[in-house]
Amino acid sequence: MSDIKVGIIMGSQSDLPVMAEAAKFLEEIEVGYELTIVSAHRTPDRMIDYAGKAREKGIKVIIAGAGGAAHLPGMVASLTTLPVIGVPVKSSNSIDGWDSILSILQMPSGIPVATVALNGAKNAGILAASIVGAFDETVGNRMEAFKRSMKAKVEDSAEEVEQKGWREILGE
Ligand code: RP5
């Protein structure tokens, strides 16, 4: 898990509790990543530098999270040819989260950002690993195992509900 495949960035350290979910998934699936803070508004030069150097560092996908007037994912997408996954974060300066969602989602033609759900950093990690897995057979196989384990969990809980009934499961 040494060579970096995924770059995780966020506008502020206050986004970390949400964004760490992407890092946790990548660790689980053993995909290398780096994680740092890059603010589109407070450190625009750092953002330009990060996006410009990402490819040569071995990054294949960027996950960018931000809240409120969430310009980081879109601006990074404008500065790189790497795929960018945007995570809208419900932050202290969000009205209700829709501001972050729409800031990241409603990109102009030519500069796409693959936007996940509000606070959906785990799905961003899963999507990034899927992109890496499309070209890396080992990671692709791990993603298949991950999907199989999800399926097994649902089948197990379906069996439990059918056998015990909902009252026993809810303790009513
Ligand atoms: C955004 O503003 C950040 O991504 C964060 O979600 C939000 C609040 O930042 P802090 O004021 O907590 O640093 O740019």
Ligand 1 atom closest to the Cα of residue 66 is 4
- 9, 10, 12: which to mutate for ligand 1, most atoms within 8 A of CB? 12
Contact 127, 114 (CB under 8 A): yes
4 pLDDT band, cuts 50/70/90, is confident
The H helix count followed by the E strand count for the chain is 7, 5
Residues contacting 127, CB < 8 A, separation 6+: 85, 114, 116
12 is in an annotated binding site: yes
Report the nearest-CA residue for atom 5 of ligand 1: 67
Q: Is the confidence at residue 3, as pLDDT, over 90?
A: no
pLDDT for 1 equals 59
For residue 14, report the distance from its CA to the centre of ligand 1, in Å: 6
pLDDT for 83 equals 98
User: 3-class DSSP state for residue 160?
Assistant: helix
Q: Is the CB of 67 under 6 A from ligand 1?
A: yes
State pTM to two decimals: 0.95
